[in-house]
Amino acid sequence: MTGETRWPMAGAVVAAIVLTLLLPDDLRLAPRWVLPLIEGMLLLALIAGDPGRISRRSTALRVVSIALVGVLACSAVWSTVRLVDDLIHGGKETSSAASLLQAGGTVWACTVLAFSLLYFELDSGGAAARAHHMPITPQLAFPQQLTPELNAAHWQPRYIDYLYLALTNATAFSPTDVMPLAPWAKIAMSIQALVSLLILGLVVARAVNVLA
C-alpha cells in the first residue's frame, strides 16, 4: 500500500484555521491569532517531517499529529460550550438571527473538521500505520471492509472517507454506513453527535424565536 497524500488533511487544517479566525471573540478558546499560529506551526512540522505522502512512522510525528488534532478538537468543543452558554444566557450573537446562524454554522463546521481529523488520526494507528498495514479487525469499519462482494482486499480509507463519516454523523446524529467497533470510536462518535445536536437544535430554535 502507498501512503495517502498529505494535502487533503492539510487543506482541512487550513480550513479549520480560517473558520477559527471567523468566530466571534467570545467563542474562541484563546485570542484570535494564538490557536491559528499553534495549529499552523504543528502542520508545518508534519509537512516538513513527512512531505508528500503520509508514510513515515515516527513517534515524534505521531505526537505532533495528535497534538494538532487535540488543539483543533478542544477549540471546537470550547466554542460549542461558549455558544450554548450564550444561547442560554442571551449573549450578543443571540439577538440577531443572521449573526446567530453565522456563528452557529461556523462552530458546527469547525466540529465536523476537528472530528474528521480525529477519526483520520486515531483509526488503526493513523495514516502512516495504515499505509504499511491494515488490521484484520478495523476500529472504524467502512462498507468496503464489511462487504466481501466489493472485493476490496487492498482498499484503505483516505481522509475524504473520514470527512464523510464526520459529516454524516453530525447530521444523522448516529452511524450511517461506517460502524464504530473500538470503544474510543464509539465514544468519539457519541460526543460528536451530542455536540452537533446541541448546536443545530439550540441555534435553529433560537433563530426561529428571534425571527418570530
Instruction: For residue 53, list its beta bridge partners.
Output: 5
Contact 200/108 with Cβ under 8 angstroms?
Answer: yes
Contact 103/24 with Cβ under 8 angstroms?
Answer: yes
pLDDT of residue 159: 93
**Nearest one of 169, 195, 167 to 180, comparing CA atoms:** 169
Widest Cα–Cα separation across the chain: 56
pLDDT of residue 211: 60
Q: Which pLDDT band, with edges at 50, 70 and 90, does 49 fall under?
A: confident
For the ranges 27-36, 39-48, 87-96, the lowest mean pLDDT is seen at 87-96
User: Distance (Å, rounded) from C-alpha 88 to C-alpha 51?
Assistant: 45
Cell 490557536 identifies what position?
35
- Domain residue extents for the chain: 4-211
pLDDT at 170 over 80: yes
For the ranges 19-33, 84-98, 113-127, 131-145, the lowest mean pLDDT is seen at 84-98
pLDDT at 92 over 90: no
pLDDT average, residue stretch 181-193: 93
User: Distance (Å, rounded) from C-alpha 128 to C-alpha 32?
Assistant: 32
Contact 142/161 with Cβ under 8 angstroms?
Answer: yes
